[in-house]
Amino acid sequence: MSTASQIEQLLDLCFYAKKITETLPALPKGMKHRHNFVLYEVYKTLQKLGVCHVSDISRNLNTSMPSITKLITELEKMGFVLKTADPSDKRAVQLSLTETGYQFVKDYMLDFHQAWAENLDDVSEEEIRNAQHLLEKFKVSMPANHPSREDEMDGLPGSSFRN
């Protein structure tokens, strides 16, 4: 099989994967899928570190600070996130989930992922790591002269590929 045919097959798989994500539970009105990633990252960071800053989310999602700040501001307006000044550095902002934010993460992420995982008990961690590695390799291999738009990659779950 030629390399061009392999690229075609990979693109078909990416299209199929996108179709799968489109079958995820409907989000509340006004919510974007990027908000999911941010909320889930806030939750995971709080669980791991006990404190969460905007810079943590930006770094973990491999996304620019302005993009994350905009998404967090939107989530704050929707009542999912609270922003407070960091007591040790007034320039820094700490993030926490509201009860609504936590309930969203529980319903749309934790419980849903658990139910889905139960249907995938025959998939090994190695298979998942191989798929993640392949997708990351595919993502970074796009020719540099291709007129792709970086802002479309911005906000993608980069941390999911590394965890």
pLDDT at 87: 87
Would you say residue 131 has pLDDT above 80?
A: yes
Residue 58: CB atoms within 10 A of its CB come to 19
Would you say residue 147 has pLDDT above 60?
A: no
**Cβ atoms of residues 32 and 104 within 8 Å:** no
pLDDT at 146: 55
Would you say residue 127 has pLDDT above 90?
A: yes
Task: Report, as an integer, the average pLDDT of 114-126.
Answer: 89
In angstroms, the CA 117 to CA 50 distance is 26
pLDDT in tens, 21-53: 878 888 888 899 899 999 999 999 999 999 999
Whole-prediction pTM value? 0.73
| Interaxial angle between packed helices 65-77 and 33-49, expressed in degrees from 0 to 180 and rounded to the nearest 10 | 100
pLDDT at 55: 93
pLDDT in tens, 64-115: 999 999 999 999 999 999 999 888 887 888 999 999 999 999 999 999 889 8
pLDDT in tens, 79-92: 999 999 888 887 88
Would you say residue 148 has pLDDT above 70?
A: no
SS3 state at 132: helix
Say which range, 7-21, 50-64, 100-114, has the weakest mean pLDDT: 7-21
* Residue among 80, 72, 34 nearest 53 (CA): 72
Residue 24, by phi and psi: left (phi above 0), alpha (psi -120 to 50) or beta? beta
Per the model's pLDDT, the better-predicted residue between 145 and 21 turns out to be: 21
